[in-house]
Chain A
Amino acid sequence: MPDLLPALPEIFVLTLACAVLLVEAYTKNGYWSYALTQLTLLGAAVLTVFTTSADTVYAFNGLFVDDLMGDVLKLMTYLAAIVSVVYSRTYLTDRGMFRGEYFALLLFAVLGMMVMISAAHFLSLYLGLELLSLSLYAMVALQRDSKVATEAAMKYFVLGALASGLLLYGMSLIYGLTGSLHLAEVAATVDFRNQTVLAFGLVFLLAGLGFKLGAAPFHMWVPDIYHGAPTAVTLFLGSVPKLAAFAFVMRLLVDGLHPAVGDWQQMLAVMAVVSLVVGNLAAIVQTNIKRMLAYSTIAHMGFLLLGVLSGSYAGYSAAMFYVVTYVLMSLGAFGMVVYLSRGGFEAERVDDFRGLNATHPWLAAVMAMMMLSMAGLPPFLGFYAKLTVLQALVGAGWLWLAVVAVLMSLIGAYYYLRVVKVMYFDAPHAEPLVPATAAGDVRALLSLNGAAVLLLGILPQPLITLCAYAIQASFR
């Protein structure tokens, strides 16, 4: 009998995701599924909090690991999923997507992320990733009559399958080299007499990782999918899975292949620099805010890789802090795009935000906070995220990378500030931008999101300490 207790949150989410399917079948009313989804995520959060300990526990014959980093990331995942579901409610209702299938797929995606976060074995890493990806493909395609959404889903599916293939090929080469799929055993038995196969497998693994993270030069799918997907789905897939992707990188490279740190550092350095350059430069010319945020995601993933590649505890915790920060900011930014959209109208051009300050000063202020935080301006949270990553980089002796990162952030500030300029200094549209049916709870949550970015920016220490502690406890 395997020890099921460490996986209690996973079992809970799986059971209730199936319950959502049944509820949908019998009630045909989206509100029940919606409420049950929120309860599931809250319940999973409670279970995770109660099963948390600073010790690392293995279960299911070493396929599953429950450690502090995993618990913190899982809690963030639930939180982000709850917020994204609340933000997208009106949008989904307007477009006839407010149905049980959407919420069931969302819960399965969350389950996939939880499996990835808690994986200690190549098999569970891969299965978690596939569970997440498959749910996301379906969510992107859920708006069946939209040509752009279908095209985006097709592209996402084909490229995602290719990336999975690359990842599997890399895993199989590493398995051939070490004779084990357990990440801990892989780390213990990596054969350095055969550097060629190791490097060869690593190249495929990192190419697959790059695809899944959306880091350049494997970023081609990101703008198209972010643009084509229904905005509510973009909000979800652009924010929440990044936490799991970070855990995936940490498990694979730090848990599993830490002995090969010299090899993957160089490959990550190339990917990070290309991501920063491509992301920031391409974002400048975008007129569609979803595409702009997609390119900015690529740049942010470059920053995340910078933290990981410094190869120290400081770097890992900086990367974790960065990814948590990024999720908060992208939830706010995409949440605003979703909030301003309404039936038959997508507020997806930068121009749609023109003069928002004149009509809705508070919304403009929240959006401005998100943009300034993404640009990395003090006193917002994004500044400290960038600062800790740069500190870790310089501490590890990668001075030139830090210089490149700062230069690219300066260029990147331009397109974030452009949104602020459009909102504050341009004349507003004649027709009102905010729909009359805008829900009060969404507005309150958006405000809270903005306040979090500002307050955590003024007092970032608790979050930084939490990340550092989680990393220390998990990767001793």
Chain B
Amino acid sequence: MDFTSLVFYLFSAILVVAGLRVVTARNPVHSALALVLAFFTGACLWMLLEAEFLAITLVLVYVGAVMVLFLFVVMMLDINIEEMRRGFWDYLPLAALVAVLMAIEMITVLAGERFGLAPPSPKPADYSNTRELGLLIYTDYVYAFELAAVILLVAIVAAIALTLRRRPGRKSVDPAEQVKVRRADRVRLVSLKPQKAEAREEEA
């Protein structure tokens, strides 16, 4: 076993353990932290495959931004994890059996080194993954890139359309309306008849 394989198995073991912790941890914060570890180890594996750009993006975007947000949300919400996980251990034997059977079936179908396909040849040391990706995204794959942007736009529209509620009786004020207000809107002059005279008339 060469050094690369050793590193690969080390990272894989950490990844599997972290993945299991995500679903078995009692405390949701621990789950989220285990997910951070899983992402980071996954990034290390990608690094081994010479995909530096993807690895760095995974760490920057998922670990750096998404998971921090996730942690905030998990800490803010009062989640009763026992309630949510009720039945986890009851279903585990059956689920594990199905998973093991599926894994065995797939291994028997795909037995053999890399499905019998030839491994890709390694790139020279000065080959920059990031540079190549950048070139491709804005030239050959600009169509796909723009489409991905449209999908993000749809996600924004959907999220706003589904969650924005204009409740009646809201107390917020519209500054434009406030500025436009005129005296006549706020003050109403009422001319009242003299009260005493009226009362006297009734008596009469």
Contacts and interface: CB of A to CB of B under 8 A. Distances in A.
Given A21-B157, A64-B143, A177-B117, A196 B110 contact: yes
Interface residues of A, number: 36
B98 to A, nearest CB: 15
Interface of A: 2, 7, 14, 18, 21, 59-61, 63-64, 101, 104-105, 108, 111, 115, 121, 123-124, 127-128, 130-131, 134-135, 137-138, 141-142, 144, 176-177, 194, 196-197, 200
Nearest to B139: A61
Contacts of A60: 140, 142-143
Interface string B144-158: 100110110111011
A176 B117 contact: yes
A61 B110 CA distance: 34
Contacts, number: 83
Contacts of B155: 134
A127 B161 contact: no
A2 B140 CA distance: 9
B147 A200 contact: no
A200 B158 contact: no
A2 B154 contact: no
Interface in B76-105: none
20 contacts: A7-B143, A21-B157, A63-B144, A108-B150, A108-B153, A108-B157, A127-B151, A131-B154, A134-B151, A138-B161, A138-B162, A141-B162, A142-B161, A142-B162, A144-B165, A196-B116, A197-B116, A197-B117, A200-B109, A200-B115
Nearest to B162: A141
Contacts of B110: 196-197, 200
Given A105-B158, A127-B144, A137-B158, A14 B150 contact: yes
A87 to B, nearest CB: 21
A129 to B, nearest CB: 10
B142 A2 contact: yes
Contacts of B158: 105, 134-135, 137-138, 141
Interface of B: 109-110, 115-117, 139-144, 147-148, 150-151, 153-155, 157-158, 160-162, 165
B154 A135 contact: yes
Contact of A130 (B109, B151, B153, B161): B151
A142 B144 CA distance: 28
A124 B165 CA distance: 35
A372 to B, nearest CB: 39
Contacts of B148: 127
Contacts of A121: 144
Nearest to A142: B161
Contacts of B165: 144
B147 A105 contact: no
Nearest to A97: B161
Contact of B161 (A105, A123, A134): A105
Nearest to B146: A14
Q: Which of B110, B117, B161 has the most CB of A within 10 A?
A: B161
Query: Shortest 5 CB-CB distances between A and B: which pairs?
Result: A138-B158, A60-B143, A101-B161, A127-B147, A61-B140
A196 B115 contact: yes
B182 to A, nearest CB: 24
Contact of B141 (A18, A63, A137): A63
A199 to B, nearest CB: 9
A101 B142 CA distance: 27
B147 to A, nearest CB: 4
Given A105-B158, A144-B162, A124 B115 contact: no
B150 A131 contact: yes
Contacts of B154: 105, 108, 131, 134-135, 138
B200 to A, nearest CB: 56
A123 B142 CA distance: 11
